[in-house]
Amino acid sequence: MTFKEQSHETTDQQSIRTLVDAYARYADRRETHRQADLFTEDARIVIYEGEPDQQEPVTTIQGKQALLAGFADLKTYDVTQHVNGQHTVALDGDRARGEVYCLAHHSWVENGQRMLMVMGIRYDDMYVRKEGQWLFAERKLIIDWTDKRPSSPS
């Protein structure tokens, strides 16, 4: 691989990581339109509780309007914080596949008690480059574990 090819690959990987982090940031700030703009028009999110090859999806959300409605569901929580961890990407021209680990924190009040739910999730992503911009074509959201408990106020 030439230096120029290596530099281009690094730039693509950085652009895709920026896309992944923007998704988490917009989710936590409830910027649903900006979050939906990170997807192609026909993109979909498929949610699994456990490994996709061993489970049927819990739900599938497809298309911009459905994505907007799905993202709005986060408003049921007082606060969320998505912390992205390791991220691997395999590039193939204007397409790429990636895996992202994430700890998703959700806080709300239930029956007068502050609650905290932390989810260990992974995203199995398909990315496409359109008009020079990387976008999500598909996100498989894989819930590996969930911990829900009462929480003390800060």
Note the pLDDT tens digit of each residue in 46-59. 999 999 999 999 99
**Could you count the other beta carbons within 10 Å of the beta carbon of residue 89?**
20
pLDDT at residue 3 tops 60: no
pLDDT at residue 8 tops 70: no
What are the structural domains, with CATH classification, of the chain? 3-150 (3.10.450.50)
Please give the pLDDT value at position 15: 97
- Would you give the DSSP letter of residue 151? -
pLDDT digit string (tens) for 123-140? 999 999 999 999 999 999
